[in-house]
Structure 1
Amino acid sequence: MSTWTEEYRKKVVSADQAVSVVKSGDWIIYSYAANTLPVLDAALARRTPELQDIQLLAGVSMRPHAIIKADPRGEHFTWDCVHFSVIDRKYYEMGRAFYIPLRYSEVPRYILENISRVDVLMVQVSPMDRHGNFNLGPTISHYRASADKAKVIIVEVNEDMPIAHGGYGHTLHVSEIDYIVEAGHTGMPQIPSLEPAEVDQQIAQYVLQELRNGDCIQLGIGTMPNALGSQIAKSDLKDLGVHTEMLVDSYVEMFETGRITGRKKQIDRGRMVYTFAGGTQKLYDFIDNNPQVAGYPVEYTNDRSIASMNDNLVSINNALEIDLSGQVCSETVGPKMISGAGGQLDFVDAAYNSKGGRSFICMESTYTDHEGTKYSRINPLLTVGAVVTDTRPMVQYVVTEYGIVNLKGQTTWQRAEKLISIAHPDFREELIQEAQKLKVWRRSNKR
């Protein structure tokens, strides 16, 4: 019997015993993305009546949480979220979730320097290996920094978690863990691959025409990036690389069709680099014990100076709104939170600073509300309450179903002209009139 096995056995407790260390006023690093906590979450929910003012730092929820159901009014637990998924957005609409404005690359530093304390880290892990290591599976992100700051570390062992190869920071050692909860087979949360709409396919086609052999790809979250991934898989592009924030199913599709080799990358050659992953079981099976996939902490994947070391880094992300000066909002509709900044600004910056790199902000030209009224996503000014995710000097290519334009180095009147040219035709005349009022429309502009 190894020393690590003996230590493991000493630290195994029930979920109720593990959460008994939580006390009122604690700050807890909680579930993130695919690393959910179904067993610890249920145990903590059972303690709801006796706890007050618990702060839970979480994000990109892929499973509902028992503590929210146990505390619907937020009288005991506060859900502090670094990025909203559909589930987190429901918590927000309940008045239960609060957003943490950030650049994703800086989250480990926020934890180490800006959060006053981390009382407890709860994290889901794979079973311990013979060297005493618990693998973090699909979510590396900020967990290493969290472990360095936490007073108490509790792991929930999921027998179904894939074993992720990595660069660093993708494991926790039994010697640094306080309590181990054996959860058995709790599965992995599934994000189904949705069929992209026709407009997503149209936008993806414009981006596809700008891609070249040997590009290093970063895809954001959403149906349009997934549509592009599927189109790339069917293309004749070759020797693509991957340096991304989130790994999704479309990367597997691109790899299996031979589009991705990573041979042209300048760093992590031959490896698909990511910081967290979420998708179907096919994705988790692809990650499992695959040395061609490398998980890193987010301060590595999203750092501009590191990511831009790869030539031809291409960043493709979604947006909700853009104004005629080029300010991009990808987080809110007016003041209403939808998602978060995430790593979009990180990769917009990194792609432009990469030799041969390109950054694409993609969005449908309009959206329709519940009453059937259509609105333009390209507006004279951002909607009141909307936040700026990408400042106007940062933005390079903008793409809608009506075309693609490059805003870099363009004057205010050129930006207005280019953006109006890819707006929905029903709104172009109105946008021209508003541009004139804003004094960003030349009389000599083409009509």
Structure 2
Amino acid sequence: MAKKTGRSKTRNKNQRHLKAVPSAPKMPLQLVLNHRVVDSMAVEFIQWSAAEFRDPAEAFECLELVKVFLSAQHAIEGSSSATAIAGEGVEAAVESIASALDPEHADDAFDDLYFALESYVRFLKGTGRWTGTEGAYAELQAVLGSGPAAAAPDHPDIVVPRLSDEEQESAFDAMPLIRRASALLEWVGAGKEVTATGALRLKDIEPAAAAVEVLARGKRGAKRPATESAGERPDGPLEVGSMFDVPVLNEVWSALVGAGLIRLGSTRAVPGPEAAAWNSAEVGERLKARRMLAVVLLVGVLSSSDAVWDVESVGGTVLAVLTYGTTEDPVPVAQLEALASMELGEAFPDHGIVDDPDLSDASQDEARLEAIYASYAAMEARRSLGLLAELGLVDADTHYRVPPVAVQCVDLAAGYLDTADELSGAEEPESNVVALHAPSRTGRPSKDR
């Protein structure tokens, strides 16, 4: 009699069949460790992204997509990193994932993967887990989205910091915008002559420009100067045919009119209904006037229609940069520079959409135009941010950061724009809250005051 082994013959038979099945390839150790790194951050990522992913399951799914991406990138390049993703390999990895799916779902896969990666990378940077260089981060962000406005569908909530009246007044008085506006108001005095369009006379352009710290003088027949970035001024005085062509002067003057500090008549510009508040003995009145000026200037910059570019595209990018500038996750200056300087070949590498044989010539031409448009729109956004930096409404050293005293100004300005309805749901301290009326472009009080 055969000795019983205690094992089922049927089970042994199944095991023999299983031995005939080739084992699945083992994941490389580096990839296994990368997946574990991603998993280890799950709880904090869910908490960090609560405003972006209302359902924690969506945040978890985002991390799962990141792991799928890392696996694809590792398979292509032979290496991967969970905390320093290389921008140049993103498109190839995403395409390899999408190509394995049903064509009907490929577009959705692209969107989901890029969105998941962008959210994950911002989380790494915002929590200090990004181990790559600043340049690599900027390059990766430029690849993942067409600029900061497209980087995330929702703006972060703006939390207005608590500042005492003394802190606010000190910060405002040190702001170049307030200093230059004060000098311009002092120069206007009891009034100055203006043309039918509300512009200063040519003879008055030079002293008015000097008040806002710009060298310029009026000259009949002078051609409109080429658009310059803030901080880039010619060596000698700029000769212009209109005050509206003088950098900074145009914006500050328009904001003073919009805030009711200057009133335009048919032939003269005189102190407006809010002018008395500018030098009021009451600190609250002074703060209200200064804050209103900053808000009106921001609204003007965000909704400017002077450029040929789409207002929503440029203004939306600037607004996104400013709102992130109020958080601990500001946009790097290099990121916007990378997008603005992006050439067509960089926007669409050899394996990109422009060289896709499945696209018609018309579609490829349209894609090229969109790439050029996005780059130039970023240039316009940089120019606007340069102006705001010159006036002290944003710091632009390595990152675009909004100074504490200007945070509420950004919040209130965004409230006037269709692109940012109810941007901030945070409760604001009473000392910082101002009951604002809609900015008046004529300098007259609004009807609701």
TM bucket by the smaller chain? Answer: under 0.3
Structure showing greater Rg: 2
- State the TM-score, normalized to the length of structure 1: 0.23
| Structure with greater contact order relative to length (CA < 8 Å, sep ≥ 6) | 2
- State the TM-score, normalized to the length of structure 2: 0.23
